[in-house]
Amino acid sequence: MTEPGFRTLRVERSVDGHVLTVELHRPEVLNAMNTTMGEDLIACFRGPAAVPEVRAVVFAGAGDRAFSVGGDLKEREGMSDDAWRAQHVIFEQAAMAVLRCPAPVIAAVEGFALGGGWEMALLADFIVASETAVFALPEVTRGIFPGVGGTQLLPRIVGAPMAKELIFTGRRVEAAEARAIGLVNHVVPRGQARAKASELAATIAENGPVAVRQAKKAIAWGSETDLETGMVLAIEAYNATVVTEDRVEGVRAFNERRKPRFRGR
């Protein structure tokens, strides 16, 4: 089922409503992100992607040439400093909406993921890439700065020294290297990134949705603090699952040797 109301996205919900596919849809410009797309991303990730029924999100780009080549520099040509900053606030809000999505987000990357396009993929929980994928943060080569999280997310994934090299040089990383440095979880044949991401999303959606969301919270919070505090946060997340119907159902299903029927409550 297609979600209406988006101008630069195609948003589709699976038959059971548990998996949402969000497609950046400006294929004529390799899914470059303009102001309208930023506004659509805010509305989508604060709206349909955030509802309890959604248990996983597949985040993709239209076509097989690019996930996104980043900000639309043609739209930005001639912008005043104030207009540039005002537009960037929209992109900042879009980035935080993706990052704070309560359900797991899986980025499916075909072809280019450049600049803000790569940053959007980094905001997902993990990335599935096709063998054609090419990643880069070339902002410094244009006198700009990776402004929607690249300088914060990339070091957390690949380590500071590698992140510094990639950001300071703007060089491109192809799929094989991306897999080797831990940037992507899976590399698949051309045209198969979305299918693999959808397969993983469906697997996630079969699990207890409260437990999955609490696990996502615990990992996010715990990675930003010391181990002892992280352990406390993890216990809080654990206790949130104890009082759920899903926990009772999961144990009962195990003892009855059947598949659990989770309701997210």
How much is the pLDDT for 10? 96
Task: Write out the residue range of the structural domain in which residue 114 sits.
Answer: 2-206
Residues of the chain whose pLDDT is less than 70?
Answer: 1
Instruction: Report the candidate in 186, 9, 224 with the shortest Cα–Cα distance to residue 107.
Output: 186
Establish if 265 belongs to a structural domain: no
Establish if 198 belongs to a structural domain: yes
How much is the pLDDT for 107? 98
Q: Are residues 79 and 7 in the same domain?
A: yes
Helix (H) or strand (E) run with residue 176 in it:
helix 175-180
Establish if 263 belongs to a structural domain: no
- The length of the chain in residues reads 265
Three-class DSSP category at 157: helix
Helix (H) or strand (E) run with residue 34 in it:
none
β 9-13/19-24 pair status: antiparallel
Domain count across the chain:
2
The CATH number for 233's domain is 1.10.12
Q: Are residues 34 and 157 in the same domain?
A: yes
Q: Are residues 83 and 102 in the same domain?
A: yes
- In angstroms, the CA 147 to CA 161 distance is 19
Q: Are residues 143 and 155 in the same domain?
A: yes
Domain boundary among 189, 206, 223: 206
- In angstroms, the CA 96 to CA 98 distance is 5
Query: How much is the pTM?
Result: 0.93
Residue 138 tokens read as: 């070339």
How much is the pLDDT for 92? 95
Q: Are residues 85 and 24 in the same domain?
A: yes
The pLDDT tens digits for 58-81 are 999 999 999 999 988 887 878 888
Q: Are residues 69 and 110 in the same domain?
A: yes
Residue 208 near residue 251 (C-beta atoms within 8 A): no
How much is the pLDDT for 263? 87
Q: Are residues 62 and 93 in the same domain?
A: yes
Establish if 264 belongs to a structural domain: no
Q: Are residues 155 and 229 in the same domain?
A: no
The number of beta carbons lying within 10 Å of the beta carbon of residue 21 is 23
- In angstroms, the CA 127 to CA 40 distance is 21
Q: Are residues 58 and 141 in the same domain?
A: yes
How much is the pLDDT for 258? 86
Q: Are residues 41 and 94 in the same domain?
A: yes
Establish if 251 belongs to a structural domain: yes
Domain boundary among 190, 206, 222: 206
The CATH number for 11's domain is 3.90.226.10
Establish if 142 belongs to a structural domain: yes
Establish if 75 belongs to a structural domain: yes
Instruction: Report the candidate in 158, 130, 31, 43 with the shortest Cα–Cα distance to residue 90.
Output: 43
Q: Are residues 91 and 24 in the same domain?
A: yes
Establish if 8 belongs to a structural domain: yes
Residue 127 tokens read as: 């990335």
How much is the pLDDT for 74? 82
How much is the pLDDT for 1? 64
How much is the pLDDT for 72? 84
β 2-3/9-13 pair status: antiparallel
The number of beta carbons lying within 10 Å of the beta carbon of residue 103 is 26
* Residue 50 burial (10 A CB sphere; 0-12, 13-18, 19+): middle
Domain boundary among 206, 223, 247: 206
How much is the pLDDT for 256? 84
Q: Are residues 133 and 230 in the same domain?
A: no
Output phi, psi for 9, to 5 deg. Answer: -125, 150
